[in-house]
Amino acid sequence: MEDFRKFLLKELAIQLRNRGFVFAEPDLDGISAFDIAARREEDKFLIKILYNIETMRDEGARDLMNVSKILGCVAIIIGSRASNGSLEDGISILQARSANNDLRDLY
């Protein structure tokens, strides 16, 4: 799983560079709120990479959202699996927390 994460980080860095993004990787072995900060003109992203997107803890998600809000970035989580199996290519899942803390999945 860690090999997948490192592979995906490397591939993402190549794609970002090819698309004209300037980016930084904190290189903290996944223990930070995000793995890559990327910017191109006014587009700013904080990206977290996980093998299984369901392993993102509430605290980590809150940290990612707080940092992205402070910096005016869009937070993105990239992964290969969810608890029910592999994610399909081209599928985006938006998870939002409502005021009463219920998790809603919007596809």
| Ordered structural domains, the chain, with CATH | 2-106 (3.40.1350.10)
pLDDT tens, position by position, 55-65: 778 888 888 88
**pLDDT the model gives residue 85:** 62
- What does the alpha-carbon distance between residue 100 and residue 37 come to, in Å, rounded to a whole number? 30
Q: Across the strands, what pairs with 94?
A: 106
Q: Report which residue type is found at 55.
A: T
pTM of the model: 0.72
pLDDT tens, position by position, 67-89: 999 999 998 888 776 667 666 65
